[in-house]
Amino acid sequence: MTASGLSTGSAIKGAHAMLDAAGVPTAERDAVSLAAYALGTTPDAVGAHSEVPVPAEFWALVDRRVAREPVELIVGASYFCGRRFLVEPGVFVPKPETEELVARVVERLRALPTATPRVVDLCTGSGVVAITVAAEVPGATVTGVDLSGQACDLAVRNAATAEVKVAFECCDVATALPELDGLVDVVIANPPYIPVGRAIGMPEVRDHDPALALWGGPDGLDVVRAVERTARRLLAPGGWLFLEHGPYQVQAVLAMFGDAAWSQVADHETVDDAVLVARRAEPERPEPERPDHDPNRIIREQ
Ligand SMILES: C[S@@+](CC[C@H](N)C(=O)[O-])C[C@H]1O[C@@H](n2cnc3c(N)ncnc32)[C@H](O)[C@@H]1O
């Protein structure tokens, strides 16, 4: 579609209507984001350009969004917890609901007795969770882990752009970071957890997020189980796990954390998902030594 000479303000109104008709849930915001991208400015500054003729390429961007390509992949960036991150096809696009997971983690980290906690983000993807935590808690030492080499490369670039220090390891959750066993204060994970065969309603997710980031085996919990085993191994006594999973998996996930290795286990609903919080149990203290009350005992003094 072309509409030469149309002002940016009018073009945004037209694009908003087109995106609404295509069922895009964030139609107005996306129309503004696409206009900002076409103009080479930020969404906040678009208002100042409303009388400027809209660039011709704007309509090609709108057509892509009408076809339900994620707006983040069209503009190459995603805003997460107020920071801008690079995104690209082949790597999971960060979702707003994961911001709640991060808020819980940051709150917990700030309440810990140590100002220099060790944090591991399993299934780090583009690194948004690890990098946000490192930026919000500057004393933290953060490591991100992902099986996808492409995701790890992108995460490294995102950390450089954000100017925070995060280490990224490209490996399987199941075998990750044995050198940190028993030393970690907080483990975070947003693993793939959709059961194979379950319908995904959002075309943006179904058609554009990588399979490795979505599917978690027959019950969706294959990688979640690996996360539980790895967190059990990595966490120091009293350390915390924060795990995002599907709202339809609450009972199954709670059951996974039912043994004595875990305490203070709770599951919290978020807008679209659920977050399990669990604490690695302290080892049982040995019984204090009892004084010897044997009345027949002879104490020899020199
Ligand atoms: C749902 S995405 C989450 C990405 C990121 N943490 C976020 O919230 O935007 C899940 C990530 O787990 C990674 N992954 C899948 N299976 C894995 C495994 N066995 N070990 C490590 N990473 C894995 C995928 O490559 C993907 O980047």
Judged by average pLDDT, the poorest of 105-109, 225-229, 245-249, 281-285 is: 281-285
For residue 167, what are the domain limits? 98-280
Convert the pLDDT of each residue in 206-233 to its tens digit.
Answer: 999 999 999 999 999 999 999 999 999 9
Shared domain for 58 and 102, answered yes or no, is no
Do both 235 and 127 map to the same domain? Answer: yes
Residue 204 confidence (pLDDT) above 80? yes
102 and 59 inside one domain: no
Residues 57 and 103 in one domain: no
Q: Which of 161, 109, 92 is nearest to 131 (CA)?
A: 161
pLDDT > 70: what percent of the chain? 93
User: Which pLDDT belongs to residue 288?
Assistant: 63
What percent of the chain lies above the pLDDT cut of 90? Answer: 89
Instruction: Name the region of 179 (left: φ>0; alpha: ψ -120 to 50; beta: rest).
Output: alpha
In a domain? residue 91: no
So what's the pLDDT on residue 297?
Answer: 45
Q: Is residue 286 part of a domain?
A: no
Number of domains making up the chain = 2
pLDDT at 283: 77
Tokens of 8: 């940016």
Probe ligand 1: pick from 88, 105, 124, 146, max atoms within 8 Å of CB? 146
Work out which ligand 1 atom sits closest to the CA atom of 189.
6
Residues 26, 145: one domain? Answer: no
Going from the Cα of 249 to the center of ligand 1, the distance in angstroms, rounded, reads 18
Higher pLDDT, 276 or 271: 276
Ligand 1 contact, 148 CB (< 6 A): yes
The single-letter DSSP state of residue 22 is T
Residue 147 pLDDT exceeds 70? yes
**Residue 140's pLDDT is what?**
98
Average confidence (pLDDT) over 251-265: 96
Residues 147 and 193 in one domain: yes
CA of 41 to the centre of ligand 1 (A): 31
* 285 pLDDT tier (thresholds 50, 70, 90): low
CATH number at residue 173: 3.40.50.150
pLDDT score, position 213: 98
Question: Which DSSP letter does residue 147 get?
Answer: S
Q: Is the pLDDT of residue 12 over 80?
A: yes
The SS3 call for residue 241 is strand
265 lines ligand 1 (CB under 6 A): no
| Per-residue pLDDT at 292 | 54
3 pLDDT exceeds 60? no
What is the band of 1 on the pLDDT scale with cuts at 50, 70, 90?
very low
Of 67, 82, 109, which closes a domain?
Answer: 67
> Residues 22, 109: one domain?
no
Report d(CA 46, CA 105) in Å as an integer: 34
Nearest partner of 221 among 251, 260, 182, judged by Cα? 251
- Whether residues 53 and 105 share a domain: the answer is no
**Which range among 142-146, 177-181, 200-204, 271-275 shows the weakest confidence by mean pLDDT?**
271-275
**b (16+ CB within 10 A) / e for 121-156:** bbbbbbbbbbbbbbbbbeebbbbbbbbbebbbbbbb
* Whether residue 149 sits in one domain with residue 63: no
**Closest ligand 1 atom to Cα of 172:** 20
Q: Does 126 share its domain with 263?
A: yes
Ligand 1 atom with minimal separation from the 151 CA: 27
Residue 136 forms part of a structural domain: yes
Would the CB of 176 count as within 6 Å of ligand 1?
no
Beta carbon of 246 within 6 Å of any ligand 1 atom? no
Query: Are 59 and 173 in the same domain?
Result: no
Output the CA 143–ligand 1 centroid distance in Å: 14
CA dist 34 and 14 (Å) reads: 12
Across-strand partners of 208? Answer: none
Domain check: are 47 and 110 in the same one? no
* 52: DSSP letter: S
Cβ of residue 129 lying under 6 Å from some atom of ligand 1: yes
Does the residue 26 lie in any domain? yes
- Whole-number mean pLDDT of the chain? 93
